[in-house]
Amino acid sequence: MAAAHPGATVAVVGHVGSLTAGLNALCGLGARVWGAPLPHAVPFLVEWDGRSWRCEAWPG
């Protein structure tokens, strides 16, 4: 999605389980996300720095 919208803000909406698993893989969050799934309907920021994805905070 980011490649299709360079420089833009993109919103992703999904289910808690798939977002938790996908963001863990994308951002390399490790064990800190397991047992702390994303709360429902809570936005959070995922950023691309030109080399890798970052999830600075995990709201779970």
Q: Which residues pair with 54 in a beta bridge?
A: 47
Between residues 60 and 11, the one the model is more confident about: 11
Per-residue confidence (pLDDT) for residue 11, from 0 to 100: 85
User: Read out DSSP for 4-23?
Assistant: TSTTS-------HHHHHHHH
Give bridge partners of residue 47 from the DSSP assignment. Answer: 54
Sorting pLDDT into bands at 50, 70 and 90, what band is 41? confident
Query: What is the maximal distance between C-alpha atoms in the chain?
Result: 33
Quickly state the pLDDT bin for 60 (edges 50, 70, 90): low
pLDDT recorded at residue 17? 83
Q: How many CB atoms lie under 10 A from the CB of residue 42?
A: 8
21: left (phi over 0), alpha (psi -120 to 50) or beta: alpha
